[in-house]
Amino acid sequence: MILDIILLMVFAVGPAIILHEYAHGWVAYRCGDTTAKDMGRLTLNPIKHIDPIGSILVPGVLFLLHSPIFFGWAKPVPVNFRRLKNLRLGMILVATAGPLTNVILAYGYIWLYKLQIFSPLSHVWQWAILFNIVICVFNLMPIPPLDGSRIVMGLLPRQLAYYYSKLEPFGLIIVVVLLQMGMLKFLYPLMSILANWLGIEL
């Protein structure tokens, strides 16, 4: 069981959350914001991104409990949106980069599983597929500061985007309340749609 958790962290959770955050920082850098690079976060070094609770404890406990939902998080890569060359477009591109990375990873793991590459790790590939799909869909929810909210802000008129951004201090509370209300049930269809688009069924 301990070995499974280690394999899970190394081959599923680690790549999903580290590359998700790295993608945000890399796209922000390409769009004119050097904050992540200046702070040493534009790196694939896992130590720079791992959050002890979100990257290790939560995924590990969910795995041990055989939870049908499997998620986690890393330390957010710092982005100063005001430094982007094109604020609106840049914000959308930066926000989209993380979830898109998870879609690409999920697709890669699907092929690892289908082709039975490193077949002893097949169960890890299955968890990795699920983890990346969940992370993608969850982050696209339009609740500040999740990625979906950044996309919405980039599309809204400036005045509405300003008021919408005021929800950010309450974002975590909103997410917790929605979770308690069974919000994840509303995410299942979206996860299934993404999975079907990638050629699998959840």
Q: Indicate which residues carry an active-site annotation.
A: 21
Report which secondary-structure segment, H or E, holds 152: helix 147-155
Name the token pair of 21. 């955050």
Q: Are 83 and 27 in contact (CB under 8 A)?
A: no
Neighbours of 192 (CB within 10 A): 15
Closest of 140, 113, 136, 115 to residue 11, by C-alpha: 113
Distance CA 89, CA 61 (A): 38
Coil/strand/helix, residue 37:
helix
Q: Are 99 and 136 in contact (CB under 8 A)?
A: yes
Q: Are 109 and 121 in contact (CB under 8 A)?
A: no
Q: Are 134 and 164 in contact (CB under 8 A)?
A: no
Neighbours of 48 (CB within 10 A): 18
